[in-house]
């Protein structure tokens, strides 16, 4: 069945890089997404990657996709206290469906 897994917590020092990892099971995923949730708020799309790409860079964010291992990662360079939030990875299965599978979320805590 479809499943997306993430570790629950990550703690880093301000200025360091953060790497948040995600594994998924459905090999027919078309797009994979990273969402950010700040306290008391809804989810906001941070970035996404098409399944035939290996890497995508967007300012401080780098997404790496290893399709063979079904592993997705989000690297945040120069992590700031404002990056403290819960980060969700998600997959959409194909362009014909309307469903998304979300991971459990990784709570990132940035220490000053």
Q: Which is nearer to other proteins, 16 or 38 (CB)?
A: 38
31 touches other proteins by CB under 8 A: yes
- Shortest Cβ 111–other proteins spacing (Å): 22
Which of 87, 88, 108, 110 is in the footprint of other proteins by CB under 8 A? 88
Q: Which is nearer to other proteins, 25 or 44 (CB)?
A: 44
Distance separating alpha carbons of residues 99 and 83, to the nearest angstrom: 27
45 touches other proteins by CB under 8 A: yes
92 touches other proteins by CB under 8 A: yes
């Amino acid at each position: 069945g479809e499943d997306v897994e993430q570790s629950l917590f990550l703690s880093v020092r301000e200025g360091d890089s953060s790497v948040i990892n995600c594994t998924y099971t459905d090999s027919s995923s078309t797009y994979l997404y990273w969402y950010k949730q700040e306290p008391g708020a809804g989810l906001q799309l941070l970035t996404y990657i098409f399944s035939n790409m290996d890497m995508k860079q967007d300012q401080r964010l780098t997404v790496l996709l290893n399709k063979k291992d079904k592993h997705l990662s989000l690297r945040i360079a120069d992590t700031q206290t404002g990056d403290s939030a819960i980060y969700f990875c998600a997959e959409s299965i194909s362009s014909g469906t309307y469903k998304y599978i979300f991971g459990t979320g990784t709570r990132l805590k940035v220490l000053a």
